[in-house]
Amino acid sequence: MVKPERAEDAVRMGPLGALVGYRLRRASAAMGADYSDAMQALGVRQVHFGMLSVIAENPGIGQGVLGRALGIQRANMVPLVTVLVERGLVSRDVSAADRRALELRLSPAGEALLDACMAQIRMHEDRMLGSFSGEERAQLADLLGRIELA
């Protein structure tokens, strides 16, 4: 049963309520909408947050490796990185080891923005997952990761 705003709007969902894919889609939509609200003031899309996070953990990472790690299509990487470079969040430098490769690093502004994003995201996740224990959150992340790797 879907939780209605009004009692007369209660609708039985039949088999949908038991379908994991349907539940994942609804949960993803809810998480995405709340993320957008939480991050609106910072102007950071989910894809850019992911990129900043991975670059922070892997200074000097190449665009191709970054794209593969995040599942971003190659054709989309250059414009996505360009946005971060133009905002002064990331530097894109020629590799000393391979002059054909570009290395990505966070700028101080990128590090500061990533910290601000993490504060907002912690509040967002606490709001969305507040009824979950720490163990349940870890279990959910593990289960979703197993689906992702399937």
CB 30 within 8 A of CB 98: no
Residues 44 and 146: their CA atoms lie apart, in Å, by: 27
Report pLDDT digits (tens) over 9-36.
788 888 988 899 999 999 999 999 999 9
Query: In the chain, what are the domains?
Result: 1-40 (no CATH), 43-124 (1.10.10.10)
Q: Which residues 6+ apart lie within 8 Å of 56 measured at CB?
A: 106, 110, 111, 114
**High-pLDDT (> 70) share of the chain, %:** 97
